[in-house]
Amino acid sequence: MVFEKTLNDLVSGIRSHKRDTALFISQSIAEIKNELQSPDFFTKSNALQKLTFLQMMGYTMSWAAFAAVEVMSSPRFALKRVGYLAACQGLDQPENSPVVLLTTNLLQKELRGANVVNTTTGKGGENIYHAGLAINCLSNIATEDLGQALLTELLHMLNHPSPYIRKKALLCLYKVFLKYPQGLRLSYDKIKLCLEDPHPSVVSCAVNVITELAEKNPKNYLPLAPAFFKLLTSSANNWMLIKVVKLLGSLVPEEPRLARKLLEPLSGMVKSTHAKSLLYESVHAITLCLPYVKKADGSQPANIPNVVELCVETLRSFVSDSDQNLKYLGLVGFGSLLLSQPRVLHSHPECRGLILTCLSDEDVTIRTRALGLLKFMATKRNLVDLISQLLSHVEAASGEYRCQLVEEIIRMCSSNKYELVMDFSWYVDVLVILAGVRGIDNQGEMIAKQWMDVAWRVLPVRCYAVRRSLEILICRGPGVGGNIDDANESDRHFLPEVLPAAAWIVGEYSQLIPDGVDEEGLNTTFDASSKGPYHALIQALTAPTDAAGMNPLPCPTQAVFVQNAMKVFSAACQRNVETQNSHGMSVEKLVCSDEELHACVETLMKNLVIYAESTDPEVKERAFTSYQLLLSIGFPSSTSFATAAATASTCRGAAVTLTYLLTPEPMKPISAKAQKRLAAEGPPSPVSVRDLEKGVDWDVFWFAKEETPWFDKDGNVKGSVENISFTKQLSNSTSGEVKKEAVGTTEPIPAMQPFGDISSAVAEQVPFGNVSHMTSGASMGQAPSSSNQRVGDPFYLNSRPSPTNALFPSKGTGMEGGAVDATNAATTRFGVLTLDSGGESEEDSGMKQKKKKKKAKKIPKQRPGVAIADSDDEDDDHVPRTKRGSIGKGDRAKEFANLALVDLTTPLGEDDVMPRNEHYVVPDRPPVRPDAAHQKQKKRKKDKEKKKSSRKEKSPTAAVTGDLLGFDAMSFGAPAVAPAPLPAAAAPTPSSNPINSAFDDLLGLEMPPSVEAPAVIQADEAKARKAAKKTSKKAKKKSKQ
């Protein structure tokens, strides 16, 4: 005989195999697999025990689930326990685990077992521990089906003489309700009764459960408030009081009157209790009550200031305590107090100091909590002070906490549209400092956004923001030439997200650059060869790597840089700036010297080519466009031969063009609403072409007057527009032709209007629909065929099958009528499409409405007051439920939501009946057991019962027969006819000891017949009868009608 390793051997083995633990464990698992095959329960349970240990170490054991269930069914307690433990610890998620269903009968038997011993022998035997195990296990593996099957048993156990069982069953019920919310309505009365249990620990558990339930849907439990209020004032059990206080706290939002009532006893408790935990809980509950204490006429009760004072005092003593735990709780308490009394800290300056000292606590949990309180302390006056303190903390902080600090600083400053910030240049400075902080990568975007926001919202600070942006961009590292003080600048670091923001500000407000530079002496040399601020900036913006020449910038940043370099360049090209000199005379002054401009052009021409080779499409596109623009203005690809003056004059000549093209209307901060309105009014493009036409000086496009492959010298398009087809795959050149057309002609062209009202020459540009329909001449003849070809092609808008086309015969006439009609056709086509889809959607919505109506009809039909989670329950509540879709992983929230939907305020409807399980007896199965006759007898009896019950209440459930799962539905009939009222009825006959036949049960093959007799709770019986009578009466009425 092979001796297996025991758990102890395994543990010592793991300890002695320090080097190759994994190998040892995999060997052990292999052994365990073998051992689990053994028929011997002891071997099996030993293996399972080891496996449970390994599971704790992180090895999955869901594959042994079946073995666990087998061992669970062992008659010996010691072995059984191993099985239960394994099932609790190592099963798959219950919904996904196939073995959970197998445990139903086993658990049922165990639960019933507890009653058996107690009622027959009268003494609390060991069986209550068996049942205890089973309950414990059930609470871990509960599923909806299990809950439904075992609810009756569990409720039954609430009447068990032993408090040990009662409290366990009570707690288990909560878990069952989570999975099977309908059960709550059925058993709520029983749970309420437990609040009056003679045994305090049971009461405590009931409070636990109700607290937890009230968390989900407090409304249901308002009627219990008086009972809890009584407990609050009378109980001395701190464990329970904590829960009661919690529960009452969660009821307050539902019933504000309760808040005022609670203040008195709670503050009494604060004064009297010695237990810190209860003290804290009471204070916390008071803070929860405070938002609701207002009376109906808006006045505050007179005792509020005292209560608040008491809270502050208590919390202050917590925070100033040397015990870190109390300190933490004090801060948490302050957090919830401040939510209702935000000004409390203003009147208690000593608390402010305390909280600030917590910021430098060495415990990060405490620091984080203190940080959360700061926003309540900030005022206009102390903001600067507070932030400067925080900034000093930022330097000292590290990791996550540093990020939180930065976030908090920004949140404090930007709250309520910068309510507290008095001096925005100070805020810009703060942002620059933050942008230089290392290790806060997630906050970069936030800072960048703030920065742009401030620059474009706050006019007075714009110039300063430009200046700081210049600094960042130009001095973001040691220059390529390295003539900047290296020691000082080498550790200059800026968050990468900030760079594009800075570039955008500089570009957008490039006309402010001179002011920004003038303001103070700014070292604007980027490169040894840089000629001035503009040149330095352009150098900085077009340098393909970062200034240190180390890291290439990310592509989006490069794209922004290129664009803004051009904007800066266009600003540099401005002919002159009018400034007021000291005598009030207007003085014209060149923005930028000839040499600098020349250098700018040189740099741009040199670097844009590099960018134009970028692999990022955005960068490439922008650089290429910019480069071509410069070329078209008249710069040769190499400016080295041109004189500075010549280049400069070219630049200045092109200034208007550049400004027009590159610098649109300055961006204004408009609200989202205004933006929406704008979008609703017209085409999404902010610049309407028609408006522009008036103001456009078409001479700006002088350079476009040259002959190109597509335009002649007058800017007219070569060839005829007629052969432009949008439907055929075209070479790039022709599509380019059309695009260029708008730019290329000297007269204003209406072609770019997006829809409708289109002159004949460019009707082809209508971007919608099948354009070939509208083209005149040759293409018209082809139109029908080409459209036919595409019928059914989802890519095209009009790809609807022919019927829709047939609906609109006018299409043909439109085509014949030449170009003008063609546009009509275009509009009708467009109309067709919208109509078409509109009609469809109408139909859709119509259907939906119908559906809704159907639903609406259904709802009144629904039994009164039954709130059930899923809609499909409405109909098949009376049909035995098959296995429902399992609740997926992480659906806790859904579970809770289901539970919250349960409405306890309405009385139980007649259909709200306890689920009852009966085993389906296979009719023609060959008898396996000798006492088959006995079984048959029982079967007959059962049939009789069924008949009886059906006669009695004519419930629809009786009609359902032969159901596979044998859930013979929930009916009160059966309990009413149950022969024996006592739980003893459930006692299995000695011959069919549940333990001996446990195995058979697992497979659901056979069931001791006596178990079929339903367990009845005596107290419930009278009620059940009444209900049954009611049902039958109603049924009769119905039939009369």
Partner 1 sequence: MISFILMVNKQGQTRLSSYYEWMDMQERVALESEIIRKCLSRSELQCSFLEYRGFKVIYRRYASLFFIVGTKADFDVRVKGIASDSDNYENELGMLEFIHILVETMDRWAGSICELDIMYQLEQVHFLLDEMVMNGYVIDTNKSNILRSIDLIEREGSKNEGMFR
> 121-180: which residues touch partner 1 (CB under 8 A)?
126, 129, 132, 135-136, 139-140, 164, 167-168, 171-172, 174-175
Footprint (CB under 8 A) of partner 1, residues 10-39: 11
Residues 787-846 that bind partner 1 (CB under 8 A): none
* Non-local CB neighbours of 707 within 8 Å, separated by 6+ positions: 713
One residue of 8, 582, 615, 671 binding partner 1 per CB under 8 A: 8
Q: Which of residues 328-357 bind partner 1 (CB under 8 A)?
A: 328-329, 335-336, 339-340
Smallest separation, CB 363 to partner 1 (Å): 4
**Residues 947 to 986 in contact with partner 1, rule: CB under 8 A:** none
Name the one range near partner 1 by CB under 8 A: 111-119, 238-246, 566-574, 776-784. Answer: 238-246
The nearer residue to partner 1, 339 or 528, going by C-beta atoms, is 339
DSSP codes, 255-290: -HHHHHHHHHHHHHHHHH---HHHHHHHHHHHHHHG
Shortest distance, position 540 Cβ to partner 1, whole Å: 43
Identity of the residue numbered 848: K
Q: What is the CA radius of gyration of the chain?
A: 41
Shortest distance, position 29 Cβ to partner 1, whole Å: 14
Regarding 118 and contact with partner 1 (CB under 8 A), the answer is no
Name residue 222's amino acid: L
Is 352:377 a contact under the CB 8 Å cutoff?
yes
With respect to partner 1, which residue has the nearer C-beta, 204 or 558? 204
Residue 361 Cβ vs partner 1, minimum distance, rounded to whole Å: 8
Q: Are 133 and 80 in contact (CB under 8 A)?
A: yes
Between the CA of residue 971 and those of 910, 915, 1027, what are the distances in Å? 10, 7, 10
Q: Which is nearer to partner 1, 59 or 229 (CB)?
A: 59
Residues in region 176-205 near partner 1 by CB under 8 A: 201, 205
CB 799 within 8 A of CB 793: yes
Site string for partner 1, 260-299 (x = CB under 8 A): ---------------xxx--xx------x--x--------
73/992 with CB nearer partner 1: 73
CB of 74 to partner 1, least distance (A): 11
Bridge partners (DSSP) of residue 580 are: 586
Find the part of the chain contacting partner 1 (CB under 8 A) among 149-157, 324-332, 448-456, 734-742.
324-332
**Smaller CB distance to partner 1: residue 270 or 435?**
270
What's the min distance (Å) between Cβ of 888 and partner 1? 12
What own/partner pairs with CB < 8 Å and gap ≥ 24 does 978-983 have? 978/1013, 978/1014, 978/1016, 979/1013, 980/1013, 980/1016, 981/1016, 981/1018, 981/1021, 982/119, 982/1018, 983/115, 983/119, 983/156, 983/1015, 983/1016, 983/1017, 983/1018
Matching residue, tokens 């959360």: 372
Nearer to partner 1, 97 or 805 (CB): 97
Is the CB of 328 or the CB of 972 nearer to partner 1? 328
Q: Which is nearer to partner 1, 281 or 1020 (CB)?
A: 281
Q: What is the nearest approach in angstroms of partner 1 to the Cβ of residue 279?
A: 9
Strand 577-580 to 586-589 pairing: antiparallel
Given a contact cutoff of 8 angstroms between Cβ atoms, the answer to whether 84 and 67 are in contact is no
- Pair of tokens at residue 327: 């300190």
| Alpha-carbon span 50 to 703, nearest angstrom | 86
Range in contact with partner 1 (rule: CB under 8 A) among 360-368, 483-491, 567-575, 946-954: 360-368
Provide, rounded to whole angstroms, the least separation between the CB of residue 218 and partner 1: 9
Tell me whether residue 249 or residue 479 sits nearer to partner 1 (CB atom).
249
- The nearest distance, CB 899 to partner 1, in angstroms, is 9
Closest approach, Cβ 829 to partner 1, in A, equals 49
Q: Report 488-547 residues binding partner 1 (CB under 8 A).
A: none
We find the least distance from the C-beta atom of residue 886 to partner 1, in angstroms, to be: 12
Smallest distance from the beta carbon of 313 to partner 1, in angstroms? 19
Site for partner 1 in 52-91 (CB under 8 A): 52-53, 56-60, 76-78, 81-82, 85, 89
Q: Looking at 108, 127, 220, 250, which residue binds partner 1 (CB under 8 A)?
A: 250
Residue span binding partner 1 (CB under 8 A) among the ranges 211-219, 530-538, 667-675, 1003-1011: 211-219
Q: Which stretch binds partner 1 (CB under 8 A): 48-56, 297-305, 795-803, 836-844?
A: 48-56
- The distance of closest approach from Cβ of residue 883 to partner 1 in the complex, given in angstroms and rounded to an integer, is 19
In whole angstroms, give the CA distance from residue 559 to residue 541.
10
Dihedral angle sign, alpha carbons of residues 485, 489, 490, 491:
positive
Question: Residues 79, 1006, 152, CA angle at the centre, nearest 5°?
Answer: 75
Report which of 290, 335, 294 is spatially closest to residue 308, judged by C-alpha positions.
290
Q: Which residue type occupies 148?
A: Q
Enumerate residues 449-488 that contact partner 1 by CB under 8 A. Answer: none
Q: Which of 17, 66, 93, 389 binds partner 1 (CB under 8 A)?
A: 93
- CB nearer to partner 1: give 555 or 901: 901
92 versus 1021: smaller Cβ distance to partner 1: 92
Identified binder of partner 1 from the candidate list 13, 17, 33, 42, rule CB under 8 A: 42
- When the beta carbons of 325 and 871 are compared against partner 1, the nearer one is 325
Looking only at residues 843 through 902 of this chain, which bind partner 1 when binding is defined by CB under 8 A? 889, 892-893, 896-897, 900
Three-state secondary-structure class, residue 912:
coil
CB of 343 to partner 1, least distance (A): 17
Q: Is 18 exposed, middle or buried (0-12, 13-18, 19+ CB in 10 A)?
A: exposed
Report the length, in residues, of the chain: 1041
**Count residues contacting partner 1 (CB under 8 A)?**
77
Cβ-based nearer residue to partner 1, 290 or 654 = 290
The DSSP H or E segment spanning 26 is helix 21-37
* Residues in CB range of 867: below 8 A, 6 or more apart: 901, 902, 903, 906
- Give least dist CB 441 to partner 1, A: 21
Tokens of 1008: 């001791």
Residue from 24, 66, 229, 239 in contact with partner 1 (CB under 8 A): 239
d(CA 693, CA 455): 31
C-alpha to C-alpha distance for 1035 and 1040, rounded to whole angstroms: 9
Q: Which is nearer to partner 1, 57 or 672 (CB)?
A: 57
In sequence order, the 6+-apart residues with CB closer than 8 A to the CB of 809 are none
DSSP 463-478: HHHHHHHHHHHHTSS-
User: In whole angstroms, how close is the CB of 242 to partner 1 at the nearest point?
Assistant: 5
Site string for partner 1, 362-401 (x = CB under 8 A): xx-xx-x---------------------------------
Residue type, 330: G
What is d(CA 390, CA 835) in angstroms, rounded to the nearest whole number? Answer: 61
Closer to partner 1 by Cβ: residue 265 or 1004: 265
Find the angle CA(642)-CA(648)-CA(652) to the nearest 5 degrees: 140
Whether residue 742 contacts residue 804, with contact meaning beta carbons closer than 8 Å, is answered with no
Choose, by CB under 8 A, the member of 109, 179, 216, 942 that binds partner 1.
Answer: 216
Instruction: Report DSSP letters for 617-668, one per residue.
Output: HHHHHHHHHHHHHHHHHT--S--SSS-HHHHHHHHHHHHHHHHHHH--SPP-
One residue of 16, 26, 325, 442 binding partner 1 per CB under 8 A: 325
Retrieve residue 333's tokens.
């308490």
- Separation of alpha carbons 164 and 294, rounded Å: 44
